[in-house]
Amino acid sequence: MEAPTPAAGAVEPAVHVRGLVKRYGEVTAVDGIDLDVHKGETFGFLGPNGAGKSTTISILCTLARPSEGSARVAGHDVVTERDEVRRHIGLVFQDTTLDQYLTAERNLRFHAELYGVPRDLLDDRLRKVLEMVGLWERRGSKVQNFSGGMKRRLEIARGLLHSPRVLFLDEPTVGLDPQTRLSIWGYIDELRQTEDITIFLTTHYMDEAENCDRIAIMDAGRVIALDTPAGLKASLGTDTVRLRTPDDAVAAEDLRDRFQLDPTVGSEGITVGVPDGEGFVPTVVTGLRVPVTSISVSRPTLDDVFLSYTGRTIRDAEQAPGMTNPFAQTRR
Ligand SMILES: Nc1ncnc2c1ncn2[C@@H]1O[C@H](COP(=O)(O)OP(=O)(O)OP(=O)(O)O)[C@@H](O)[C@H]1O
């Protein structure tokens, strides 16, 4: 089915998705997604491994066909106008697709040919993208001699070479050390300022999601929350108290029965949302049948948002996909 075109006069979003479903045999990787990404936005898809982020990106990039529903990218339908979509997007995937035996520059020139970048523009553009990622001086080196971070930077440069309107980054910093992750984000920030581009990225790092204008939190093929990072955190309206005890089951029971709260028990102890965290601490340490061995109060994080919507931390969700926690708050 072709995606309905937005109403005449409306500004077409950079990405427009309705009722998107992708099944692989018995597995429903994407289970009915609706979303619009505005032009110029940095939009993040956050979720544990197996949530369906890569599958969604593959569909948006025309590398996989939807089982149901529709999507338009840069104004074109991903099924019926594949070539148009491909011309207007840049891709940086988890697995490198650079040719290790070619130099950085040859890799980029090869890509430029595939995309038909006009010859008279190519030299300037090549220099611009290589300078942006700090690899201009290394353009003559073979990719096999590059570090993981340099390869990822080169892939970002390659993804930008043909001036795409939407750049898709699938886990752009996965497997990189913290310093390199930071520098990749430096380049992404610069991109937002210097190129007229929409960035759509996936991550399972909470701190990276914080850098996005808006994020969709994904779990088990569905978008469970979508807003600005600040909006998502504010929607919880509570502080988060984390505590450890020798018997979390007893402590959780007391929190429910004595304090009328809704705790979650996970691998990292008990987490509970309360309106006034600091005021709650002295009451709870004397109010349980078991001693409290450690306690901390924090403003909500995106992990708390995920926990609140699913009843699991992202880390627990990665360890046990598909498991649900009976203490999950039902929040829609
Ligand atoms: N080609 C495929 N064939 C069969 N099942 C698949 C295929 N691709 C993905 N899946 C399944 O679909 C689900 C979603 O996977 P997907 O890779 O989209 O998740 P993800 O959120 O991107 O996770 P990750 O962060 O690990 O990449 C998983 O259960 C996965 O095993």
- Bridge partners (DSSP) of residue 295 are 243
pLDDT at 332 over 50: no
Checking DSSP bridges between strand 264-266 and strand 269-274, what pairing results, if any?
A: antiparallel
Mutation probe of ligand 1 site: the residue of 23, 53, 168 with most atoms within 8 A of C-beta = 53
Say if residues 309 and 225 touch (Cβ distance below 8 Å).
yes
Nearest CA to ligand 1 atom 29: 50
Residue 18 backbone dihedrals phi, psi, to 5 degrees: -135, 125
ipTM value: 0.95
Q: How far is the CA of 225 from the centre of ligand 1 (A)?
A: 20
Q: What is the pTM for the complete model shown? A: 0.79
C-beta of 175 in contact with ligand 1 (< 6 A): no
Checking DSSP bridges between strand 76-77 and strand 27-37, what pairing results, if any?
A: unpaired
Q: Look up residue 23 and give its two tokens.
A: 């099944």
DSSP annotation of 5 reads P
Residue-averaged pLDDT of the chain:
87
Q: Look up residue 168 and give its two tokens.
A: 């898709």
- Bridge partners (DSSP) of residue 240 are 273, 298
Residue 10 CB neighbours (<10 A): 8
Most confident residue range from 190-199, 239-248, 299-308: 239-248
Residue owning tokens 């469970």: 224
Nearest CA to ligand 1 atom 8: 55
C-beta of 49 in contact with ligand 1 (< 6 A): yes
pLDDT of the residue at 2: 53
Q: How far is the CA of 34 from the centre of ligand 1 (A)?
A: 19
Lowest-confidence segment of 66-75, 90-99, 251-260 by average pLDDT: 90-99
Q: What is the pLDDT of residues 73-104, one digit of tens each?
A: 999 999 999 999 999 999 988 777 889 999 99
Q: Which stretches of 194-312 are assigned E, i.e. beta strand? A: 198-203, 214-219, 222-227, 239-244, 264-266, 269-274, 294-298
Say if residues 207 and 255 touch (Cβ distance below 8 Å).
no
pLDDT of the residue at 3: 52
- Give SS3 for 234: helix
